[in-house]
């Protein structure tokens, strides 16, 4: 028998709920957001929440998973990277920037979740985030060479990712401090800069 929840109409309703909930949660927060506001924005009746999700908290977990799933594209985890480790690191940095070009609510939700984690984040860290972290660590380990210890690899990887995260999640602070930056720099410019800056720093670590 066909699973009714997997047909096109019900999947479209689920998508509308997640997209609408993402916008409402981003604007009002988990606790202030209401089912009524979410279903009104999605254009569906309140029964749809109970049909697809147990409650608001399960819907929120689905929103976080959706946001991370978009950002942590598994096709990119398993695609073959070619070239030197430096070229592979540059490609990963460009991928990270490419992955943030989705709806603004997604970035807001993830910024809140990273700052004040809930069980929703715990549920997807191992599945969606850790594979990306491990791939980054492995590439940086190759650049630093066999003499690098785990502490150096960890610190270097965090430094690379932190540059990207700062650009993603502190855009309003950057805009206030440097209003011209987003007029003069495209996301490709920033990704290129972070890649060059990071690779130069890693090479400097190798020479010490």
Q: What are the CA-CA distances from residue 64 to residues 49, 80, 172 (Å)? A: 16, 27, 22
Q: Where are the domains of the chain?
A: 4-53, 69-207
The mean per-residue pLDDT over the stretch 68-74 comes to: 71
Mean pLDDT of the 52-65 span? 92
Query: What is the rounded distance in angstroms from the CA atom of residue 184 to the CA atom of residue 43?
Result: 39
pLDDT given for residue 27 in this prediction: 93
Higher pLDDT, 142 or 124: 142
Residue 194 confidence (pLDDT) above 80: yes
Question: Over 80: is that where the pLDDT of 176 sits?
Answer: yes
- Same CATH fold assignment for domains 4-53 and 69-207: no
Instruction: Domain 69-207: give its CATH architecture.
Output: Orthogonal Bundle (1.10)
pLDDT at 2: 43
Query: Is 132:161 a contact under the CB 8 Å cutoff?
Result: no
Mean pLDDT of 132-146: 93
- Report the alpha-carbon distance of residue 141 to residue 157 in Å, rounded: 9
pLDDT band at 106 (very low <50, low <70, confident <90, very high): confident
Q: Are 58 and 142 in contact (CB under 8 A)?
A: no
User: What is the distance between the alpha carbons of residues 113 and 54, in angstroms, rounded to a whole number?
Assistant: 21
DSSP state of 79: S
Per-residue confidence band for 140, with pLDDT thresholds at 50, 70 and 90: very high
What's the pTM?
0.78
- Confidence label for 57 from pLDDT (cuts 50, 70 and 90): very high
Q: Apex CA 41: angle with CA 40 and CA 43, to 5°?
A: 65
* Spatial contact of 55 and 41, defined as CB atoms under 8 Å apart: no
For the structural domain made of 4-53, what CATH number should be given? 1.10.10.60
The mean per-residue pLDDT over the stretch 164-188 comes to 87
Residue 184: is its pLDDT beyond 80? yes
Residue range 77-91, pLDDT digits in tens: 566 788 999 999 999
Inform me whether the pLDDT recorded for 14 exceeds 70. yes
d(CA 4, CA 115): 37
Output DSSP code: residue 5.
G
Tell me the average pLDDT across 107-121: 88
């Amino acid at each position: 028998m066909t699973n009714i929840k997997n047909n096109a109409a019900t999947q479209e309703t689920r998508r509308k709920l997640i997209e609408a909930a993402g916008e409402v949660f981003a604007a009002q927060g988990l606790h202030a957001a209401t089912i009524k506001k979410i279903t009104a924005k999605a254009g569906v009746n309140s029964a749809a929440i109970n049909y697809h999700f147990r409650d608001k908290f399960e819907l929120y977990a689905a929103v976080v998973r959706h946001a991370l799933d978009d950002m942590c594209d598994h096709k990119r985890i398993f695609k073959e990277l070619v070239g030197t480790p430096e070229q592979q690191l540059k490609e990963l940095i460009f991928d990270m920037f490419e992955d943030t070009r989705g709806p603004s609510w997604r970035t807001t939700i993830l910024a809140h979740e990273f700052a004040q984690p809930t069980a929703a984040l715990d549920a997807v860290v191992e599945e969606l985030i850790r594979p990306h972290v491990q791939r980054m660590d492995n590439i940086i380990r190759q650049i630093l060479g066999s003499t690098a210890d785990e502490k150096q690899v960890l610190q270097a990887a965090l430094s690379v990712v932190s540059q990207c995260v700062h650009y993603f999640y502190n855009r309003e602070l950057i805009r206030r401090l440097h209003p011209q930056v987003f007029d003069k720099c495209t996301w490709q410019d920033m990704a290129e800069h972070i890649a060059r800056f990071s690779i130069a720093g890693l090479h400097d670590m190798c020479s010490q």
